[in-house]
Amino acid sequence: MTVDQHQIDPNVDGTAALTKKRVRRSTFRSLMKNPFAVFGIVVLSIVVAVGILAPWIAPYPPNATDLAATNAPPFSAGHLLGADASGRDILSRLIWGTRQTIVACVIVLSVSLVLGLTGGLIAGFYRGRLEAVTNFVSDVLQSLPGILTIVAFFALTGPNIPLSMTVFGVMVAPSLYRLVRSVVISVRSELYVDAAKVVGLSDLRIVGRHVLSAVRAPVIVQGAFVLATAVAIVGGVDLIGLGDPSQASWGRVLQDAFNNIYTNPANVIWPALVISLTILAFVLLGNALRDTLQASNRSAALKPSRRRALNTTAQDARVAGEHDHAARQEVLLSVRGLRVGYPSSSEEVTEVVHGVDIDVRKGEIHGLVGESGSGKSQIAFSIIGILPREAVVLGGSVYFDGKDLLADPARMRKVRGRRIAYVPQEPMSNLDPSFTIGAQLTYGLRSATGVSKKAARAKLLELLQRVGIREAERVMRLYPHEISGGMAQRVLICGAIAADPDVIVADEPTTALDVTVQAEVLELLRELSSERGLAMIIVTHNLGVVADICDTVSVMRAGRIVEQNDVDTLFAAPTNPYTQDLLESSRKVELMEVADD
Amino acid sequence: MFRTIVILLLRSVGVLLIVSFFTFCITYSDGIGIARSVLGLNASDEQVAAKAAELGLDRPLIVQYLDWLSGLLTGDLGASFLTGQSVAEALSSRVPVTLSLIILTMILTTIISVVLGVTSALYGGWLDRVLQFISVLGAAIPGYILGIGLIFAFAIAIPYFPATGYIRLTDSPQGWLWSLTLPVLALLVGAIANAASQFRGSMLDALSQDYVRTLRSRGIPESQLLFRHVLRNAGGPGLVVLSLTTLGLFGGALFIEAIFALPGVGLLSVSAALAGDVPMVMGVVLVVIVLVLVVNLLADVLGSLLNPKARIR
């Protein structure tokens, strides 16, 4: 390891996900199930115990010399780990040296915690100019190699390990500061702190109650990594001769042994082992803490063999049942018995879509409606073969033009983007921020159709105007962050229709847009459908959208389609109780909106 | 683009002034103490005061700093209190050693950790586990201990590489490489452990972006998706990782130079600090800050080339 403060894991910096997690007793229990964590805890407990008990367990005082034992090899009488060039017992010196490491850890941790926590809390809570100043100080500190600052201080004060470690504590404080600040900012923007403000709690109590409990977990994780670095640094400072020669320490023992490495190489092993084991304990404990506290963020990965087996089962079922589809030729796109799952462990898969059937004819707009988490988007992704990598298609088929796309990945690749296109939900995150609008639209169209750059550009300009973008030339030169959400959604629709597809799968195409823009985009989709005879599947949670634009509709709940019908019939006479509830609640919302106006 | 570079440059100069001022105040704050450590413990108070006056240490700190700063503009960083050698001269022979060490390590770190990070993000499986193992190991074994282990294994037990010393590139390219092999290895493991797992993280981040899914839905082949869109967007965070890793190497190199007796700036700063040779310490601090700022500047400029949002308008 290159020992410096910058080695401390910056991944932790953005862990806003940890925000609401609290360190509970259960955390400790699940930690004890992790062998690496147990190893870390045991090693660190031994280190602390040895440090405290040093006067009683060390065979000799730290600086006692025994000239008869000069350079004694390990396991010699009276000197279990041997003795150094001055005849000092290595075991005793390591035992006494533990105290210096513990003191160094305590200093580094308390200095960096006090500075990082208070700085981060204040900057994150009050923001503004204050935050700009603390950010600048933190940036400057982070751009300095900490060890060099220790060297500069040495020139002023001479050997002084507590001071060196205080300096180092200041140098690592930015890593905690940034972490705390980002957590505080995310907590602060959450409603409950505002609510507390309204109730009239003082600023201090708001900070105390909510924010401190939110930053606790990430700070503990980061603290473990800070301590790992501190142990390395305090050893290194002694090794290069900037420590106090009169004091026994791990780094000093290492230095003495290293100076005699030609005559007595074995002696290097003990201090090196002690230092590395202690750092390893902190690193493993830190990793285990992070895994435990972030457990829900880690998606389980399926074993490759298990994934292959599941794919084979699904494929066999497709081959066996293929003729089943022969009668449905008039249908353009047909989803049959689709089942999708996500791994819950390396062997287990949780099914989220339980066998869904949908048929769409040419020019038909089909609404797929249901609450969030009902599996609508998973169906949309499956149709076009863009499910997340960890997802598994457990069974079923997607017939397009009578051929099963799920059975044949090559056909899926050929159809995707050319015959079936996709319009995503959140316009801003679905444009590549590094490329201009023109560049990414052209790449897409050219790889789908293979037309020349010039032809692609001309066609896209025309289409951009068609979807309602007036200054198409100018917009093509802009980057995604320079256009509005409504315009971005038009760009994405343009990207979808550019290759003249037969089917469009639109996943909540209007959810992220303003109400007025929503209506315009829906109108655009309807026009495109009738103009080009496009079939569409529109995924939405909004029954208003369904009533507005769809011909047929499927109502989904918990991975199943509970009711499927043409729109008029469904709205007039819903048969399923869930559909009735859904219609009822959406009417209520409408009434409330009317009342608001 | 030009504006971006100018603003970044001005900011770097600002940081340089602030950091050098504070370091100067720390190292020069105890003028009498410096004079005493130059003369040794047996000097009388009068001798010490006379020495302090001779070296200009009795002047107000701000005057001394401005003096140092005006010297800096003409390339004069003062002279060693002990040997009288010009600081600039001493540095000019030391900087190439440290730079050789860091540049070689960075080239290897970049290649290996990009390959390791990207492939393990794409294919996972056993590569993932190898990477995890390396990153725990690299984090747990400090570079200086690895260095001592390497000296023991490849310079003493099997005397194949030199244990200490440096051969200049201009004297013998092969010898140069030979003398740097073990030190670079000692720095490399930690640097890769840190960089590779973070590259993996930024790759996974870039892969899971919504726009990657949307671009895939347009029928763009996987290879183009990866090279044109995913790698490019992972590049920005990747650059930050590289610049932070380089920064860490400046610290790590100090220990490695001490272990392998490489005559670089790190070793110079330690011996100067031990001897109380303040102008020399200040010179090293200056050089390292400038190098760090150059690295940051490069990373920022490259970053703004990659990411249109980072451009200052």
Is residue B313 predicted with pLDDT exceeding 90?
no
Residue A473 CA, distance from chain mean position: 37
Give the nearest partner residue to B29 out of A139, A156, A426, using CB atoms.
A156
Query: CB-based contacts of A69: which residues, under 8 Å, 6+ apart?
Result: A76, A78, A79, A83, A87, A89
Q: Which of A29-43, A62-76, A427-441, B150-164 has the lowest mean pLDDT?
A: A62-76
> What's the pLDDT score for residue A2?
38
Reduce the DSSP state of residue A431 to 3 states and report it.
coil
Region A484-504 average pLDDT: 89
> What's the pLDDT score for residue A25?
59
Residues of B in contact with A300 (CB under 8 A): none
Q: Which of A175-189, A321-335, A526-540 has the lowest mean pLDDT?
A: A321-335
> What's the pLDDT score for residue B150?
93
Best B145, B257, B304 residue to mutate vs chain A (most A CBs within 10 Å): B145
Is residue A384 predicted with pLDDT exceeding 70?
yes
Indicate the length of chain A as a whole number. Answer: 597
Greater confidence (B172 vs A16) lies with: B172
Q: Measuring CA to CA, how many Å separate B309 from each of A5, B52, B233, B236?
A: 28, 53, 12, 11
Distance of alpha carbon A433 from alpha carbon A440, whole angstroms: 10
> What's the pLDDT score for residue A17?
38
Strand spans (E) along A219-360: 333-343, 349-360
Tell me the per-residue pLDDT of B25-40, one tens digit each, with 9 for 90 and over: 888 888 888 888 888 7
Q: Which of residues 167-196 of B touch A (CB under 8 A)?
A: 187, 189-191, 193-194
Region A503-511 average pLDDT: 88
Q: Which of A382-386, B171-175, B309-313 has the lowest mean pLDDT?
A: B309-313
Residue A554 CA, distance from chain mean position: 33
> What's the pLDDT score for residue B312?
57
Closest residue on chain A to B295 (Cα): A143
Best B19, B87, B218 residue to mutate vs chain A (most A CBs within 10 Å): B218
Tell me the per-residue pLDDT of A458-481, one tens digit each, with 9 for 90 and over: 999 988 988 888 888 999 999 998
Is residue A136 predicted with pLDDT exceeding 80?
yes
- Interface contact flag, B218 A445, Cβ < 8 Å: yes
Q: Measuring CA to CA, how many Å separate A318 from each of A210, A298, A325, B81?
A: 54, 32, 11, 85
Tell me the per-residue pLDDT of B86-120, one tens digit each, with 9 for 90 and over: 999 999 999 999 999 999 999 999 999 999 999 88
Angle (nearest 5°) at CA B18 between B16 and B22:
115
Region B267-277 average pLDDT: 90
Structure tokens at A472: 């198409």
Distance of alpha carbon B133 from alpha carbon A467, whole angstroms: 52
Q: What ipTM score was computed for the predicted complex, to two decimals?
A: 0.89
Confirm whether pTM is higher than 0.80: yes
Region B149-159 average pLDDT: 88
Closest residue on chain A to B303 (Cα): A434
> Above pLDDT 90, what percent of chain B?
32
Tell me the per-residue pLDDT of A238-251, one tens digit each, with 9 for 90 and over: 999 888 888 889 99
Residues of B in contact with A287 (CB under 8 A): 136
- Interface contact flag, A145 B216, Cβ < 8 Å: no
Backbone angles phi, psi at B17, to 5 degrees: -65, -45
Distance of alpha carbon A82 from alpha carbon A75, whole angstroms: 6
Residues of B in contact with A432 (CB under 8 A): 211, 215, 229, 233
Is residue A574 predicted with pLDDT exceeding 50?
yes
> What's the pLDDT score for residue A192?
56
Structure tokens at B186: 């000692």
Is residue B51 predicted with pLDDT exceeding 90?
no
* Interchain CB contact of A99 with B (< 8 Å): no
> What's the pLDDT score for residue A203?
64
Q: How many CB atoms lie within 10 A of CB A237?
A: 26
> What's the pLDDT score for residue A301?
73
Whether A280 contacts B136, CB under 8 Å? yes
Strand partners, B79: B86
- Interface contact flag, B198 A232, Cβ < 8 Å: no
Q: What is the maximum alpha-carbon separation in chain A?
A: 103
Closest by CA position to A219, among listed A109, A142, A135, A134: A109
Strand spans (E) along A499-585: 503-507, 535-540, 552-557, 560-566
- Interface contact flag, B142 A276, Cβ < 8 Å: yes
> What's the pLDDT score for residue B194?
87
Mean pLDDT over the full length of chain A: 83
User: Per-residue confidence at A66, pLDDT binned at 50, 70, 90?
Assistant: confident
Tell me the per-residue pLDDT of B71-94, one tens digit each, with 9 for 90 and over: 888 888 888 888 889 999 999 999
Strand partners, A577: none
Tell me the per-residue pLDDT of B210-264, one tens digit each, with 9 for 90 and over: 999 999 998 888 888 898 899 988 988 889 889 889 988 998 999 999 999 999 9
* Interchain CB contact of B95 with A (< 8 Å): no
- Interface contact flag, B190 A422, Cβ < 8 Å: no
Tell me the per-residue pLDDT of A85-113, one tens digit each, with 9 for 90 and over: 788 888 999 999 999 999 999 999 999 99
